[in-house]
Structure 1
Amino acid sequence: MPARRPSSVDHTVRRLSWFNFFGDFRLYGPVMVLYFAQVTGSYTAAASLLAAKMLSSAAFEVPTGVLSDRLGRRGTMTAGAAVMVAAHAGYAGATGYGLLLTAVVLEGLATSLWSGNNEALLYEALLGAGREDEFPRHSGRVNSMFQIALALAAAVGGVLAGVWSLHAVVVLSVVPQVLCLLVALGVREPRVRGPLESNAWAHLGSALRGLRRSPVLRRMTLVSALRYSGESAAQLSPVFVAGLWPLWALGLWRTFGHVVAFAGFRVSGWVVGRVGAARTLFFGELFDAVVNLVALLKPTVVSPLLLGSPAYGVSTTAQQTLLQHEFTDRERATMGSLASLLGSVLYALVALGAGLLADRWGIVVALLAIQAVVLIALPLVHRQARGSCVRMTDAR
């Protein structure tokens, strides 16, 4: 009896899983700033390159979302992978600031091509098969590969940089991006989008009108942006951890955080299926807020293990589930890109403000300020969770 041919959904999930793994398996991750400083001869120049990458990603967000909705998910995903290969080749071959700047702008473009597009690809593959209720499980499985890649890369990259050189680690990091491109070429295009608007401006206007008409979508877009702004704490957290742990243990701390996130993503489908997406997000955010306050207000040697977002995996899957249910089929990626753009703006503002607070009043005050911004999302999520409970009661 011939073997059963895997379904289109199973094929897409496997491809996206490996795509995410190779895309984030960047051995230079723990030493990127050091490499930039080595090439440019300045930490200020290195920091400006990181800022340029964030700004370029934000600038390209909406145009690439419109591109995805109009030209297709597979083509947009493949284009992003090709641009990412070019960016990493630029990193490896850079001899000065100019080529590094070009490379970080290319990486920002590639990131924006994937933002909104890849989650839309997964949801539409499930929708086309009538299996959209399985999105939390498959989204958790696919996104967990980001975290295991980051954990392995952080552990291996630091060792290789010490044994060989910073440049050798950057050169090796080109290989996973080439594999990422090969995986993207094998992805199948879902076919569930509705008729398109006459032009790109009309398409963007339609997405904005959809956002304006839906109070749930507006609320969840703001929640998504607030949560993303909280990730700016990752830039400052090592300063707090270094005051409690030896310097050599910072890599282990990063790896531990990625492993916890990986576990959260793997169980997120099960949790969302039993608790509901809105309540999962609410309790996940509440849990993270409590443990972060404990870690910051009473620092001990255990505090680094609590700091961050232990519930990140389950909360992110729940958030994506709520957003994808509200996005329209023909503007799905554009709406996702609008949410990412708002998140990038808030991220930049919060990071800048936290840096100023850290210089004036110390790292703990800065991290507490970031937590205060993220806490604004909690009543919004609670309102969504209450609304979900009311709808479930009415349905019974």
Structure 2
Amino acid sequence: MLADVVPLYPLYALLFADTGLSDAEISALFAIWSVVGIVVEVPTGALADRFSRKSALVAGGVLQAAGYALWTATPGFTAFAAGFVLWGLGGSLVSGSVEALLYDGLVATGAQEHFTRIYGQVGAFELIAQIPAAVAATVLFPLGGYELVGWASVATCLTAAFVASRVPEPPRTESGEEDGEASYLAALRTGVVEAVRSPAVRGAVVAVALLTSLDGIEEYFPLLARDWHVPVDAIPLAVVAIPLAGAAGSALAGRLDRLRPLSLALVLLAGVLVFALAGLLGVPLGLVLVGLFYAAYRAVLVVANARLQERIDGTARATVTSVAGLGTDLAGLLLYAAWAVAGLPAALGLALVVVAVLPFGLRGRSAAGART
């Protein structure tokens, strides 16, 4: 997807480091990003449910562009933190809106049983988009450094926002009896109540939240590559194999759709063990093993998200999904703190905790009848 063809993606952790920030300060920036999500994740999901999910996608792209503009114009810890606030707000608007827009669109055509396959393909395209992003970063960086890469990223986000404005949105039934504020509060309450009180939904929300938080490890891939002796100017292309592997995992997730939760947990466990081996080796070829982990992880993540969507019965789909996003932000704080203290070993320890929790979160049977 165009929103993911951002040249800054493979370089921004290096931008922070080259500006003089320590690993602890970089982790603090990621923590700020998560805190913003904690504050606004669920309210923005309710906004999307009450008004327009398409408009939420557009606003998210504009805010992300504004954040990158700050980073590029005035690089430094304060500007980086402010940029993450804007990006966090924009990301919260997008979080839940994509899944809700896709699932409701499939429901409108009677094709909701294809959600896992299609959502997996969407995730694959998002990851494949990192290839042109890496190529762009590799080409632009020698020509104009972080500044050229940054402004190109701003332009990409604004273009993505325009494209999102052209996406069709299925009509939704509205009572017309409540004013905007009352309707918004009703959507907020409906989504939160379903996420908390329904055992099947609650378990899936927890599973998706914990699983998605592991994606924060991706922010450290460029730093791992540098620690494993990959030259800085080769890092964007060196790490591109990882999202490619993740794209393959997402695209093949439909084949895991009927697996029981324990089997899904074993798939994730295998990936975590392979990642641990890469960390022990500490060589450039270890990135191939990281790619295998990411493929397994993304496949399991797609299936977990699909089972969450299948279990949501109400109209506040984006709000419920945003509750999972809130959990992701909370768990992400723990991940960033763990990395700041003990690096990769601590992050992999948290991944093992997720493996242990996954079978319990996804147990039961979804509304669509998927075997869990």
TM-score by length of 2: 0.84
Could you tell me which amino acid in structure 2 is paired with residue 222 of structure 1? V
From 205, 213, 218, the equivalent of 1:221 is 205
From 365, 368, 371, the equivalent of 2:351 is 371
From 100, 109, 119, the equivalent of 2:89 is 109
Question: What is residue 287 of structure 2 aligned with on the other side?
Answer: 304
- Name the CA distance, whole Å, in 2 between partners of 1:299 and 1:85: 35
Which stretch of the first structure deviates more once superposed, 92-101 or 219-228?
92-101
Which stretch of the first structure deviates more once superposed, 110-119 or 319-328?
319-328
- Name the CA distance, whole Å, in 1 between partners of 2:37 and 2:362: 31
SS of equivalent to 1:169:
helix
Matches within 5 A, 1:191-202: 191-192=171-172, 198-202=182-186
Question: What is residue 348 of structure 1 aligned with on the other side?
Answer: 333
- Name the CA distance, whole Å, in 2 between partners of 1:237 and 1:366: 15
Residue 194 (structure 1) shift: 6.7
From 190, 195, 204, the equivalent of 1:211 is 195
SS of equivalent to 1:88:
helix
Residue 195 (structure 1) shift: 5.1
Residue 114 (structure 1) shift: 0.2
From 42, 51, 58, the equivalent of 1:62 is 42
Question: What is residue 291 of structure 1 aligned with on the other side?
Answer: 274
From the superposition, tell whether residues 33 and 309 of structure 1 become closer, same or farther in structure 2 (CA, over 3 Å): closer
Question: What is residue 239 of structure 2 aligned with on the other side?
Answer: 254
From the superposition, tell whether residues 218 and 253 of structure 1 become closer, same or farther in structure 2 (CA, over 3 Å): farther
2:234 counterpart of 1:234: no
Residue 161 (structure 1) shift: 1.0
From the superposition, tell whether residues 181 and 371 of structure 1 become closer, same or farther in structure 2 (CA, over 3 Å): closer
Q: Which has the higher contact order (CA 8 A, sep 6+)?
A: 2
Structure exhibiting the larger radius of gyration computed from Cα positions: 1
SS of equivalent to 1:67:
helix
2:126 counterpart of 1:146: yes
Matches within 5 A, 1:68-79: 68-79=48-59
Deviation per residue, 1:281-331 (Å, 9 max, x gap):
445324323433444567676543223422233222211210111123411
Whether the aligned pair in 2 keeps the contact of 1:227 and 1:377 (CA below 8 Å) is: no
From the superposition, tell whether residues 129 and 36 of structure 1 become closer, same or farther in structure 2 (CA, over 3 Å): same
Which stretch of the first structure deviates more once superposed, 97-106 or 133-142?
97-106
Which stretch of the first structure deviates more once superposed, 260-269 or 315-324?
260-269
- Name the CA distance, whole Å, in 2 between partners of 1:368 and 1:45: 21
SS of equivalent to 1:376:
helix
Could you tell me which amino acid in structure 1 is paired with residue 329 of structure 2? S
2:69 counterpart of 1:89: yes
Question: What is residue 268 of structure 1 aligned with on the other side?
Answer: 253
- Name the CA distance, whole Å, in 1 between partners of 2:362 and 2:35: 32
Whether the aligned pair in 2 keeps the contact of 1:116 and 1:332 (CA below 8 Å) is: yes
SS of equivalent to 2:309:
helix
Question: What is residue 8 of structure 1 aligned with on the other side?
Answer: none
From the superposition, tell whether residues 35 and 109 of structure 1 become closer, same or farther in structure 2 (CA, over 3 Å): same
From the superposition, tell whether residues 93 and 300 of structure 1 become closer, same or farther in structure 2 (CA, over 3 Å): closer
Could you tell me which amino acid in structure 1 is paired with residue 106 of structure 2? L
From the superposition, tell whether residues 106 and 297 of structure 1 become closer, same or farther in structure 2 (CA, over 3 Å): closer
RMSD: 3.1
- Name the CA distance, whole Å, in 2 between partners of 1:245 and 1:130: 51
From the superposition, tell whether residues 278 and 374 of structure 1 become closer, same or farther in structure 2 (CA, over 3 Å): closer
Deviation per residue, 1:330-357 (Å, 9 max, x gap):
1101111111111111111132134323
From 50, 53, 56, the equivalent of 2:33 is 53
SS of equivalent to 2:56:
helix
SS of equivalent to 2:159:
helix
| Unpaired runs of at least 5, structure 2 | none
Residue 147 (structure 1) shift: 0.5
From the superposition, tell whether residues 352 and 138 of structure 1 become closer, same or farther in structure 2 (CA, over 3 Å): same
SS of equivalent to 1:80:
helix
Residue 236 (structure 1) shift: 4.8
Could you tell me which amino acid in structure 1 is paired with residue 128 of structure 2? I
TM-score by length of 1: 0.79
From the superposition, tell whether residues 285 and 37 of structure 1 become closer, same or farther in structure 2 (CA, over 3 Å): closer
From the superposition, tell whether residues 161 and 242 of structure 1 become closer, same or farther in structure 2 (CA, over 3 Å): closer
2:108 counterpart of 1:128: yes
Which stretch of the first structure deviates more once superposed, 139-148 or 86-95?
86-95
Which stretch of the first structure deviates more once superposed, 290-299 or 104-113?
290-299
2:170 counterpart of 1:190: yes
Whether the aligned pair in 1 keeps the contact of 2:204 and 2:362 (CA below 8 Å) is: no
Could you tell me which amino acid in structure 1 is paired with residue 298 of structure 2? G
Whether the aligned pair in 2 keeps the contact of 1:253 and 1:305 (CA below 8 Å) is: no
From the superposition, tell whether residues 190 and 392 of structure 1 become closer, same or farther in structure 2 (CA, over 3 Å): closer
From 295, 299, 310, the equivalent of 1:314 is 299
- Name the CA distance, whole Å, in 2 between partners of 1:56 and 1:203: 21
% identical aligned pairs: 27
From the superposition, tell whether residues 48 and 317 of structure 1 become closer, same or farther in structure 2 (CA, over 3 Å): closer
From the superposition, tell whether residues 379 and 45 of structure 1 become closer, same or farther in structure 2 (CA, over 3 Å): closer
- Name the CA distance, whole Å, in 2 between partners of 1:169 and 1:392: 44
- Name the CA distance, whole Å, in 2 between partners of 1:99 and 1:212: 37
- Name the CA distance, whole Å, in 2 between partners of 1:25 and 1:137: 22
Which stretch of the first structure deviates more once superposed, 173-182 or 113-122?
173-182
